[in-house]
Amino acid sequence: MVQLTINGKQIQAPEGSTVLHAAKMAGIHIPTLCAHKELAPYGGCRLCIVDVEKWRVPMAACTLPVSEGMVVHTDTDAIKKSREFILSMLFSERNHFCPFCQVSGGDCELQNAAYDEEMTHWPIQPGWSNFNVDTTHPYFVLDNNRCILCRRCVRACGELVGNFTLSAAERGAASMIVADTDIPLGESSCIKCGTCVQVCPTGALIDRTSAYQGHDESLTEIKSVCVGCSVGCAVKVMVRNNRIVRIEGDWDGAVNHGLLCEHGRYHPVADSRTRITAPQMRKNGKLEPVSWEEALGSLADKLKLLSGDKNGVAAIASTRLPVETLAVFKELFAGNFKGALVTSTEEGMPTAVVTDFAEKNEAFEGKLDVLRNADTVLCIGANIQKSHMVAGFMFKRNLSKGTRLINIDPEDSELDDLANVALKNKRGSDLDLIKGLQAIIVKEGLGRSPLEISDTEGLIKKAVSATNVPLEELTQTAQILARSISPVILFGKGITAQRDEKLVEELYRLAVLVGAVDSERHGLISLKGEANSMAAALLGLDEAFKLNGQKAVYVALGDDYASKSLVERVSKAPYLAVQASYESSLTEKADVVLPVTIWAEQDGHYLNLDGHTQQAQKSLTPPENVRDNLVVLSEVAMRMNMTTKSDWQKSILERKSSVALN
Ligand SMILES: Nc1nc2c(c(=O)[nH]1)N[C@H]1C(S)=C(S)[C@@H](COP(=O)(O)OP(=O)(O)OC[C@H]3O[C@@H](n4cnc5c(=O)[nH]c(N)nc54)[C@H](O)[C@@H]3O)O[C@H]1N2
Ligand SMILES: Nc1nc2c(c(=O)[nH]1)N[C@H]1C(S)=C(S)[C@@H](COP(=O)(O)OP(=O)(O)OC[C@H]3O[C@@H](n4cnc5c(=O)[nH]c(N)nc54)[C@H](O)[C@@H]3O)O[C@H]1N2
Ligand code: SF4
Ligand code: SF4
Ligand code: SF4
Ligand SMILES: [Mo]
């Protein structure tokens, strides 16, 4: 600890911390613009200047390390004057005619900083020139005229997202934020995560859908969880008049630390599917609106007739539903129709083999945080450029600093462009490939722990012939992995959909062999699928959905998309009941349709891919005649004279989890 004094207050701060940080800990406010808690200190805007006794010139507090006995002043007349001058310069360099700007009046950090200094005008004559406004991006607008060159956006795109799309072109006052080689944003390498917009302190980067929809002050902020995939990013849903205006990443999020991808930030706001607003029943071949009483009554009568018949009903639920709902769904169908086919829309494709392996071997997977410090990442059967993108950000940001990426995928993917090695193995040849890698490492004596292999040469030969990958590439991969200090292995549906538990077992052995997994590190992670994949697996809702003459099918789809294959399979059922939020080719085929809440209209818990249990909060009031997913299932149960008493917290413990739950 270091002793220093700020504004006469004695402060203790950890060695290596900045004066800005020390002041903050002591409750002393120093104004900033370019600083951001998730970004490395930059010292660009100079707004945080402070006086240090015995030092000749004021210093930027955000980059100044604390030192023993340092005496700092943040609010001397000289500092206040300098701060006003800095702000005046910032205002006069570009077009900051605030009344025309979308963030004016509370949402602009530049304007707020000026008001904090009690400035009413700036004395410097504006000397700016006009820049073009880039409106080519589908989700946001870049207006360099409002830019203060704090470079938060540039730093966020590189340091956090690892996409390196943005940079500053030209020098000094002519500096401009540009995408790639100064091409339109809409044609650039941008992956549309919106992080740059979230960090921009001014109106230079503004969101298309929420612009001019009211100040943040007039929005209600609800903390929730993205249900776009199993990463489980924490979000802040910004609501006005029962409408989602914008979704932001929650900087306090345990998993995502503020980041989101396009699917989390923009897709839910842009969803254009048609809501179902009243229960419907097929009458004379046509779906017609009916009352809840009639729809539920007729459905329960049908189900009662089939009760006890194990081939009477098949039921399938979306893994986007809260765990509370999934647990009641299971209780209703598995409990009431003993032996019936009761599963989830993912049919265990991304999870079944993982959970099966865990049942014998305890929790063997690690937490996503391990990716932050990985020096090598092996992606196998996982296209993280497309799915689970925020998990990808955690290591993509380090690729320019020396972290190596190995991608194993039979198909060409965007991940190949980032990879040091991209192996194009034959589809389904992964078991031979993994064993081959083990054999090469053992043969070359590179293993970090012992592994008994009887026929190394045989396995290596087999790997080459089965995978069609040249020996040199396999050897290179094995050597990179084995020589890494903190490797992590990520696997996805390319592996798990092969439904071969052996694959998980051999990946685990490889992970132990190269030190990805040992007593301290847990660098083996499966990506899983939708938001509650993990919960569905723990509830045992992971069987393949193979119909064999069931007399009725119940689909609890919620707000999920219906896959073509599911629609095909259920369309032959003699009776089809669907609880869904949106019209689709599935609801068109149903005999009874029950309109239910979407993700934002219901409360519930989600178990993300690395075992975090998180709570999604209701942000919107559903349309009048739409009911909660959980309530609908409970009402069906009640009409069948069942009471649902499901305790999901207990139910998920019936199976062993592949990762520690927290
Ligand atoms: N943004 C976004 N994220 C998502 C989803 C989404 O729709 N959007 N969907 C979610 C869902 S439901 C799921 S299930 C997951 C899926 O996410 P992932 O588990 O990453 O699965 P895919 O994206 O299908 O990528 C699987 C990769 O495996 C490759 N592959 C196919 N066969 C083989 C093989 O034999 N061997 C190897 N080594 N590779 C093979 C494919 O070419 C593909 O690139 O993503 C979830 N995350
Ligand atoms: N044999 C086999 N069966 C499987 C799987 C498998 O790998 N193999 N995977 C399982 C898994 S993990 C899953 S999640 C399921 C479903 O598996 P998926 O592969 O996810 O299903 P899709 O057919 O893509 O169904 C999604 C449908 O919704 C549409 N859709 C999705 N997102 C959007 C969107 O943002 N906008 C619009 N307009 N349309 C969209 C798609 O065009 C598609 O028609 O299948 C499960 N069943
Ligand atoms: S949206 Fe994301 S990828 Fe695109 S420029 Fe902004 S931070 Fe970079
Ligand atoms: S666009 Fe925004 S975040 Fe980027 S440098 Fe300009 S003011 Fe800063
Ligand atoms: S990574 Fe998954 S959970 Fe995170 S924002 Fe994207 S879709 Fe949502
Ligand atoms: Mo999935």
Q: Whose CA is nearest to atom 4 of ligand 5?
A: 233
What is the model's pLDDT at position 398? 98
Pocket of ligand 2 (CB under 6 A): 267, 345-347, 349-350, 493, 497, 529-530, 561, 563-564
Interval between CA 143 and ligand 4 midpoint (Å): 9
Alpha-carbon gap, residue 12 to 545, rounded angstroms:
61
Alpha-carbon gap, residue 626 to 639, rounded angstroms:
19
The CA–CA distances, whole Å, from 539 to 178, 340, 659 equal 49, 15, 15
What is the model's pLDDT at position 124? 84
Q: Are 228 and 531 in contact (CB under 8 A)?
A: yes
Which residues have their alpha-adjacent CB atom under 5 A from ion ligand 6?
A: 346, 529
Q: Whose CA is nearest to atom 42 of ligand 1?
A: 411
Interval between CA 535 and ligand 6 midpoint (Å): 13
For residue 13, is it left (φ>0), alpha (ψ between -120 and 50) or beta? beta
What is the model's pLDDT at position 173? 78
Interval between CA 253 and ligand 5 midpoint (Å): 12
What is the model's pLDDT at position 171? 86
What is the model's pLDDT at position 187? 98
Q: What domains are defined for the chain?
A: 2-75 (3.10.20.740), 124-270 (3.30.70.20), 280-350+533-651 (3.40.50.740), 352-526 (3.40.228.10)
Q: Are 599 and 219 in contact (CB under 8 A)?
A: no
Alpha-carbon gap, residue 219 to 588, rounded angstroms:
37
Per-residue DSSP letter, 528: -
Residues of the chain with pLDDT under 50: none
What is the model's pLDDT at position 468? 98
Phi–psi pair at 165, nearest 5 degrees: -80, -40
What is the model's pLDDT at position 40? 96
Residue 433 alpha carbon, nearest atom of ligand 1: 38
Burial of 77 (0-12, 13-18, 19+ CB in 10 A): exposed
Q: Starting at the earlier edge strand, list the strands of the sheet with 576-580.
A: 286-289, 280-283, 592-595, 576-580, 552-558, 313-317, 341-344
Q: Supply the DSSP string of 186-251, one letter for each residue.
A: GGSS-----HHHHH-SSTTEEETTTTTS--GGGSEEEEEE--SSTT--EEEEEEETTEEEEEEE-T
Interval between CA 201 and ligand 4 midpoint (Å): 7
Q: Is the CB of 258 under 6 A from ligand 3?
A: no
- What is the pTM assigned to this prediction? 0.96
Alpha-carbon gap, residue 528 to 658, rounded angstroms:
11
